[in-house]
Structure 1
Amino acid sequence: MKLTKFAHACVTLEKEGAKITLDPGTLTPGAKDAVHGSAAVLITHEHFDHFDDALLAEALDADRELRVFGPRSVVEKLGDRDGRVQAVAAGDTVHIGAFSVSVHGDRHAPIHADVPCVDNVGYLVDGTVFHPGDAYLVPEAPVDTLLLPTSGPWTTLGGAVEHVRAVQPRQVVQIHELMLSELGQNATRTFLAGLTGIEEVVPAPGESIEL
């Protein structure tokens, strides 16, 4: 399986001629390229940095085979498009080409009492790669590659360490990094490695790695 990192929370996964895209939001300059040619797009939650509804509406109009999965709020914003946009929740499993995706969790991590807490789901792809969205979700299944958010109003270094320890992945790949400078990203990488024993992989936008 090939993982390609795009800016912020967006990644694509490819295998056996199929591609899926996770969380193409408005802070991802290459989101349109990420979505193009995808069999499906998986959205963890409705926040703009994870979900560009205008982009996906255009993509759904252009590609009648494209499917979109996400919390109920995603369907409310896009419409069900003859069943091509589907709501998912914890416990669901969806099949996209050769991919099998299980859904975990239900709520965004708290930011502040004055900020509404929206629905947020995580996706475990092929029992291998886990994208938690904006929460330190721990799936009830082994994880090989954890996509770890490293910046944002809800993240903490201590929380990230405990998240990695709880999930116990073989490797950690940084996502959700735009609020950290290069120095901050490297400092976070060093901190996590020192406390978890797992070296964080920090791909540049557009870089691919084999899983």
Structure 2
Amino acid sequence: MTTLTWWGHACVQLERGGARLVIDPGTFSDLSVLDAADAVLVTHEHPDHVAVDPLRTALATRSHLEVWAAPAVVDLLDGAGGAAGRVHAVHGGDAFTAAGFEVTALGEWHELVHPDVPRVPNVAYLVDGAVLHPGDSFTLPPSMTSVDVLLAPVGGPWLKLAEVIDYVRAVHPRLVVPIHDAPLSDIGRALADRLLTSLGGSPEYRRLAGGDELVLG
């Protein structure tokens, strides 16, 4: 049995058999999630997806913690105390096991914010072939992949809700869980929920509050 917990903004935790996999623990999230993390995945280098100093501290204090991330994040973590061999650069197409979860990296570019803003690499993660965290992208899963849970970004300078709706339709998961919503007001969240529920086409849409757990499978 796998449990998914939302820790604010783009950060989620997957737990199974006592092992905890954390994705995108950034500065807008509750970073106490790192206190019990066994593995961390980071999609890209922006601070709302990776809080560098807290993650470096976690690597220094949790001797078994491993991190997989886009190469720019690996550079930011370079020299973290005692972390040699536990921080791994990831590119689209890579596959690996993290805290007992089977992970496939997809991508690998951040969506365009503005033509004057350089794009950075962004690696989406498909976990156990079932849970897709796209980071700041509309990266699609491999053809013929049936995604069970899509963690869908709903607020940010690089997206509009019409694009999110089309992305949800293209992935067509069983369940949509909205993430990446720190820039939104309560009214904005309600609007996103209403539009994605009515137009996304997925059988289920569920917004989680901070610390809420969702049993998968």
- TM-score, normalising length from structure 2? 0.93
Structure 2 gaps of 5+ residues are none
Partner of residue 40, structure 2? 41
What CA deviation, in whole Å up to 9, does each residue of 1:17-61 have, x standing for no partner? 210100001111x21x21112111100000000011101111111
Partner of residue 124, structure 2? 122
Partner of residue 159, structure 1? 163
Partner of residue 171, structure 1? 175
Would you say the 8 A contact 2:6–2:208 is kept in 1?
yes
Would you say the 8 A contact 1:16–1:98 is kept in 2?
no
Partner of residue 10, structure 1? 11
Structure 1 gaps of 5+ residues are none
Would you say the 8 A contact 2:172–2:201 is kept in 1?
no
- Write the distance in 2 (CA, Å) between the matches of 1:89 and 1:34: 25
- Write the distance in 1 (CA, Å) between the matches of 2:148 and 2:8: 22
The one-letter amino acid paired with 1:55 is: P
- Write the distance in 2 (CA, Å) between the matches of 1:207 and 1:186: 18
Q: Does 1:95 align with 2:97?
A: yes
Q: How many residues align?
A: 209
1:75 deviates by 1.1
- Write the distance in 2 (CA, Å) between the matches of 1:133 and 1:58: 23
Partner of residue 136, structure 1? 138
Larger deviation: 80-89 or 150-159?
80-89
The one-letter amino acid paired with 2:118 is: P
Partner of residue 72, structure 2? 73
- Write the distance in 2 (CA, Å) between the matches of 1:95 and 1:197: 32
- Write the distance in 1 (CA, Å) between the matches of 2:60 and 2:45: 20
- Write the distance in 2 (CA, Å) between the matches of 1:97 and 1:110: 32
Larger deviation: 94-103 or 83-92?
94-103
- Write the distance in 1 (CA, Å) between the matches of 2:48 and 2:93: 25
- Write the distance in 2 (CA, Å) between the matches of 1:77 and 1:94: 22
Task: Show structure 1 runs of 4+ deviating over 2 A.
Answer: 196-200
Q: Which of 109, 115, 134 pairs up with 1:113?
A: 115
1:196 deviates by 2.3
- Write the distance in 1 (CA, Å) between the matches of 2:46 and 2:99: 27
What CA deviation, in whole Å up to 9, does each residue of 1:145-202 have, x standing for no partner? 0000000001111100110111110010010011111121111111112212334211
Question: SS at the partner of 1:91?
Answer: coil
Would you say the 8 A contact 1:71–1:88 is kept in 2?
yes
- Write the distance in 1 (CA, Å) between the matches of 2:106 and 2:190: 29
The one-letter amino acid paired with 1:27 is: F
Question: SS at the partner of 2:109?
Answer: coil
Q: Does 1:146 align with 2:150?
A: yes
- Write the distance in 2 (CA, Å) between the matches of 1:35 and 1:124: 21
Would you say the 8 A contact 1:9–1:49 is kept in 2?
yes
What CA deviation, in whole Å up to 9, does each residue of 1:78-136 have, x standing for no partner? 11731100001111111123211110000000001111100001111111111000011
1:142 deviates by 2.1
The one-letter amino acid paired with 2:11 is: C
Percent of aligned positions that are identical: 43
Question: SS at the partner of 1:137?
Answer: coil
Question: SS at the partner of 1:76?
Answer: helix
Partner of residue 202, structure 1? 207
Cα root mean square deviation, aligned: 1.1
The one-letter amino acid paired with 2:214 is: I
